[in-house]
């Protein structure tokens, strides 16, 4: 590359200066403080811009070279690359990036990358020379003719590239930069933002936090499952108890029916007993009437005897007193019997003329009723015995079938029908309460499952992200291994070329023999 023309509109103390450079070595001379150093600084400033940062100096280059007596702080430079391409660069130093023209005077500024800090990187993209390399090689200020190790390495790299590839732009540093760029773009580092490794780390962090937030729902589900099992067992026991009470209630209902039958039999027996008593009473009355009838016949015989005696006495007696006594006794007896006869007649009228034959019928009826009563007694005993045996057998089966509730059976059997009914309703209400609790657990479980589904989704995403990170770390290792191999190869080459470069550097200066002298 060679510079063809330099035009300074305003830069430090230099104003309106234009210099055409020849094809060989150009010598610019002038008195002290004439602006030679300013002129040298102008050239890289056109290519790389001028820094507003002090960089350890007392004053920044931008402030140092800003003209005092003019607002014009700009210039233009024309140069030709080794491939023959010619470019003109105009730069206003107050702006970050210059305007670049090709040989056809077309503005091609947008074809080059723009760095946020340094502006357009056109010169580096065209030549592979950055500001550091330019300053170390092309620009040597007073008492700075000694090259440090870093500069020697840079030059060695360039020469090594030239020897090995024939192109100094195919450089070790450029390869390293390319690897670093690739590493940064395709992987990233802990200090980068928005790169794959940073994104995946952020994603892993977020998914881990979300997963941990939902971790409690796993424990809640376990607690819920334990509670559900506990309630289900309780419900099963309660249902068994309800079935038991329902069976006992049915048994009690059967017992009630049997007891009603027994009571009906007892009432019927009582009816027969009352009927027997009534018949026996009637029989006694009829027998009494019959007996009284017999007494009346006997009394009539006595009366007849008294009358005969009375007649005999009256015939044969001569004592009026005796007659009087006999007649008095006969008359008294006759009066008494008359009264009794009248009463007997009254009672007799009430009694059917067939009473005498009815006694046998009454006795027969009493016997029949006694037979019925005995039959009812037997049936009642059979019912009671059957009920007792059935109850005993049924409760025995219940105790066998519901062995776990044997204690409850004992107390339930002793309850009456109404108590059993109330107990059944009470236990059924307990079942309903457990069912409601299980239903509530079901709703809660659905909510927990929805959260666990999210947790599973986060776990899947986390596994995928961890796998992605592992792949990125593998890729990073590949880049680092390639970088290490490149550094080792370069170090080996540097150790072979640098001594020769240092030895032969002075001989190269001898080739600089012809000068084009211009006054600064």
Alpha helices by DSSP H, listed for 32-148, are 36-48, 61-65, 122-127, 131-137
Q: How far apart are CA 211 and CA 74, in angstroms?
A: 60
CA distance 241 to 222: 29
HEC profile of 8-65: EEEECCEEEEEEECCCCEEEEECCCCCCHHHHHHHHHHHHHCCCCCCCCCCCCHHHHH
Quick one: CA dihedral 510, 512, 518, 520, positive or negative? negative
CA angle 375, 378, 382 (to 5 degrees): 140
Mention every residue, 6+ apart, whose C-beta is less than 8 A from residue 462.
204, 207, 208, 211
Provide the 10 A C-beta neighbour count for residue 321.
Answer: 8
pLDDT at position 251? 79
pLDDT for 317 equals 56
pLDDT at 499: 63
Task: Name 108's bridge partners.
Answer: none
Residue 294: per-residue pLDDT: 53
Whole-model pTM? 0.37
The pLDDT assigned to 57 comes to: 80
* pLDDT lower than 70: segments of the chain: 136-172, 286-304, 306-307, 309-358, 387-392, 395, 397, 399-401, 403-407, 494, 497-520
**Beta carbons within 10 angstroms of residue 297's beta carbon:** 8
**pLDDT computed for residue 338 by the predictor:** 59
Report which of 141, 186, 120 is spatially closest to residue 37, judged by C-alpha positions.
141
pLDDT, residue 75, reads 96
**2-11 and 14-20 beta bridge pairing:** antiparallel
Burial of 69 (0-12, 13-18, 19+ CB in 10 A): exposed
pLDDT in tens, 19-28: 998 887 788 8
pLDDT of residue 513: 41
The alpha carbon torsion through 58, 63, 65, 67 (nearest 10 deg) reads: -140
Within 317-404, where are the H helices? 320-350, 355-401
Q: How far apart are CA 172 and CA 161, in angstroms?
A: 7
438, 214 contact by CB (below 8 A): no
Contact predicate 67/11, CB 8 Å: yes
What is the model's pLDDT at position 503? Answer: 60
């Amino acid at each position: 590359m060679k510079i063809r023309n330099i035009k300074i509109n305003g830069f430090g103390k230099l104003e309106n200066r234009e210099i055409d450079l020849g094809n060989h070595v150009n010598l610019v001379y002038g008195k002290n403080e004439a602006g030679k150093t300013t002129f040298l600084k102008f050239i890289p400033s056109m290519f790389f811009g001028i820094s507003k940062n002090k960089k350890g100096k007392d004053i920044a280059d931008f402030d140092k070279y800003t003209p005092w007596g003019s607002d014009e702080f700009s210039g233009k430079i024309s140069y030709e690359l080794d491939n023959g391409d010619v470019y003109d660069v105009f730069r206003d130093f107050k702006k970050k990036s210059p305007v670049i023209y090709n040989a056809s005077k077309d503005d091609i500024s947008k074809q080059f990358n723009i760095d946020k800090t340094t502006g357009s990187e056109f010169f580096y993209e065209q030549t592979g020379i950055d500001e550091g390399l330019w300053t170390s090689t092309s620009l040597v200020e007073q008492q700075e003719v000694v090259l440090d190790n870093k500069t020697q390495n840079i030059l060695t790299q360039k020469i090594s590239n030239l020897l090995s590839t024939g192109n100094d732009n195919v450089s070790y540093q450029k390869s390293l930069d390319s690897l670093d760029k690739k590493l940064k773009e395709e992987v990233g580092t802990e200090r980068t933002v928005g790169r794959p490794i940073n994104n995946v780390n952020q994603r892993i962090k977020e998914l881990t936090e979300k997963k941990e937030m939902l971790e409690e729902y796993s424990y809640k589900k376990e607690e819920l499952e334990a509670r559900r099992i506990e309630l289900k067992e309780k419900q099963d026991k309660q249902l068994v108890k309800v079935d038991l009470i329902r069976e006992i209630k049915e048994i009690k209902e059967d017992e009630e029916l049997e007891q009603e039958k027994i009571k009906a039999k007892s009432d019927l027996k009582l009816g027969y007993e009352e009927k027997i008593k009534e018949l026996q009473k009637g029989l006694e009355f009829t027998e009494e009437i019959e007996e009284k009838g017999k007494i009346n016949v006997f009394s009539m015989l006595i009366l007849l005897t008294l009358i005969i005696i009375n007649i005999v006495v009256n015939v044969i007696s001569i004592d009026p007193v005796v007659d009087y006594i006999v007649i008095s006794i006969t008359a008294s007896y006759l009066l008494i019997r008359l009264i009794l006869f009248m009463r007997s007649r009254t009672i007799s009228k009430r009694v059917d003329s067939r009473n005498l034959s009815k006694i046998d019928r009454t006795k027969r009826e009493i016997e029949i009723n006694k037979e019925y009563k005995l039959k009812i007694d037997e049936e009642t005993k059979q019912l009671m015995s059957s009920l007792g045996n059935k109850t005993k057998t049924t409760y025995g089966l219940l105790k066998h079938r519901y062995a776990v509730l044997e204690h409850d059976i004992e107390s339930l059997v002793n309850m009456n029908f109404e108590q059993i009914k109330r107990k059944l309703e009470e236990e059924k209400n307990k079942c309903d309460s457990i069912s409601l609790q299980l239903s509530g657990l079901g709703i809660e479980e659905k909510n927990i499952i929805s959260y666990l589904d999210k947790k599973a989704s986060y776990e899947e995403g986390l596994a995928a992200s961890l796998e992605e990170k592992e792949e990125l770390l593998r890729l990073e290792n590949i880049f680092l291994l390639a970088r290490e191999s490149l550094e080792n190869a370069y170090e080996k080459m540097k150790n072979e070329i640098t001594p020769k470069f240092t030895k032969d550097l002075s001989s190269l200066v001898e080739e600089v023999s012809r000068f084009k002298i211009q006054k600064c």
